[in-house]
Amino acid sequence: MRLSRYFMPTLREAPADAQIVSHRLMLRAGLIRQEAAGIYAWLPLGLKVLKKIEQVVREEMNRAGAVEILMPTLQLADLWRESGRYDDYGEEMLRIKDRHERDLLYGPTAEEVVTDIFRSYVKSYKDLPMNLYNIQWKFRDERRPRFGVMRGREFLMKDAYSFDIDEAAARRSYNRMFLAYLNVYARLGLKAIPVKADPGPIGGDMSHEFMILAETGESEVFAHRDLVEMGAPGPDIDWFGDLEAEVSRRTSLYAASDEMHDAARFEAMPEGKRMTARGIEVGHIFYFGEKYSAPMGAKVTGPDGKDVNVQMGSYGVGVSRLAGAIIEASHDDAGIIWPASVAPFGAAVLNLRVGDAGCDEVCEQAYRALTDAGIDPLYDDRDDRPGAKFAATDLVGIPWQLIVGPKGVADGVVELKRRATGERQSLPLDAALKAIVNG
């Protein structure tokens, strides 16, 4: 993309009411624009990042056997009356009347809709296990939306829902999601820790939140150090085999956020294994059995010919929230440092003297070569001061900067800068291109 034909409105200053670093940087780098309290437009750079996060989530859901659907943003209130949640949900639910005075709502979540879809089509245990997910805009009318996309009102969520014949099968579905989530965070360049979460009235051990480590995190996290170092399972586990051991390796090690912290258990661990850090919650998975299937009559016929309520779980991750969380985890004083997997562009080409035949030619050559190699470069071809170009490129956090100035061109070299480390080197164009392509 040529910057002269793009729309990347970077700002020198963030609005004073942006309190946290991700919010400030997203505004300054021109990723988002506030349209109303907690409601944002995604500008070109922000949208590219959002779509990449969404795609990573999608691929890992698909790999783990979940099937994508898309539920509408508006839902019928009557469905929520069936589950009993319409009256319980409170003021966070945005309630709407259409022109015929019919009660609608903007979905804050979709258990009722997906349960209704399930019960309309699925009648037999033979169609299970089933896991349906969607990536759709949700709305929760927070009293005090803040922190940008970290706590917005209109937000993009991936919500998956599993349907199983019994609790043992539900655990297998849960395990797939547990491990898929770890793979998502790893691909996004995040260190994520699954911590026990409150299972609510259903009880049991199938409820986890995922906390990513970031110095600016909102919660305190306490964990066994081995858990942090264990890493994600990767794509090649046997997703439809027995994953219990793979999950237990992780859930058997202590990990909790402040709300669920058990200081005695934590301190019983060897001191060298105790880790405390700040964390941001970026996902929640839990099993809730028949909570919706019972009142809504979502039953299947079992192998014995008898109808049983399906056992359900739900698995949520805030896709738009992740854009902010990644920045919280990865930035410096100059701006954002995107992991390559979600960077809006793979490399920036900076022309320090637009109109100089040598600079223009080297830049065009670099731009073409990177485009052909699938790197999706951003070419800063604007007639602007080098200092402004450096600042903007650092701010928006593109992993590589290929800097082309008249002196280098005369010497047959360009400068290559790696955004994450600040490391710079002068080298011939071919070598610079090779370094970028090889990552």
> By the criterion CB under 8 A, which residues form the site for a copy of itself?
5-7, 9, 30, 33, 35-37, 39-44, 47, 50, 65, 67-76, 91-92, 94, 96, 98-99, 102, 104, 106, 113, 116-117, 120-122, 130, 132, 137, 139, 141, 143, 153-154
What token pair was written down for 407? 């002196």
Per DSSP, 43 falls in state P
Taking the complex as a whole, the smallest distance from the CB of residue 64 to a copy of itself amounts, in Å, to: 11
Rounded Cα–Cα distance for residues 232 and 254 (Å): 17
Query: Which residue, 116 or 209, has its beta carbon nearer to a copy of itself?
Result: 116
Taking the complex as a whole, the smallest distance from the CB of residue 90 to a copy of itself amounts, in Å, to: 9
Between the alpha carbon of residue 163 and those of residues 130, 215, 310, 391, the distances in Å are 5, 37, 6, 50
Query: Which residue, 41 or 202, has its beta carbon nearer to a copy of itself?
Result: 41
Query: Which residue, 135 or 366, has its beta carbon nearer to a copy of itself?
Result: 135
Query: Which residue, 135 or 347, has its beta carbon nearer to a copy of itself?
Result: 135
Query: Which residue, 92 or 307, has its beta carbon nearer to a copy of itself?
Result: 92
Cross-strand pairs, 389: none
Query: Which residue, 47 or 237, has its beta carbon nearer to a copy of itself?
Result: 47
Taking the complex as a whole, the smallest distance from the CB of residue 239 to a copy of itself amounts, in Å, to: 10
Residue environment code for 129-148, b if the CB has 16+ CB neighbours within 10 A, otherwise e: bbbbbbbbebbbbeeebebb
Burial classification of residue 90, based on how many CB atoms lie within 10 Å of its CB (0-12 exposed, 13-18 middle, 19 or more buried): exposed
Contacts of 152 (CB under 8 A, 6+ apart): 38, 39, 40, 142, 145, 320, 321
What token pair was written down for 287? 């099993």
Taking the complex as a whole, the smallest distance from the CB of residue 28 to a copy of itself amounts, in Å, to: 12
Maximal C-alpha separation, the chain: 82
Taking the complex as a whole, the smallest distance from the CB of residue 327 to a copy of itself amounts, in Å, to: 18
Query: Which residue, 9 or 235, has its beta carbon nearer to a copy of itself?
Result: 9
Is the distance from CB of 37 to CB of 314 less than 8 angstroms? Answer: no
Query: Which residue, 113 or 370, has its beta carbon nearer to a copy of itself?
Result: 113
Torsion over CA of 275, 278, 280 and 283, rounded to 10 degrees?
10
Taking the complex as a whole, the smallest distance from the CB of residue 342 to a copy of itself amounts, in Å, to: 16
Per DSSP, 151 falls in state B
Taking the complex as a whole, the smallest distance from the CB of residue 249 to a copy of itself amounts, in Å, to: 26
Taking the complex as a whole, the smallest distance from the CB of residue 59 to a copy of itself amounts, in Å, to: 14
Between the alpha carbon of residue 18 and those of residues 22, 142, 255, 336, the distances in Å are 9, 17, 31, 16
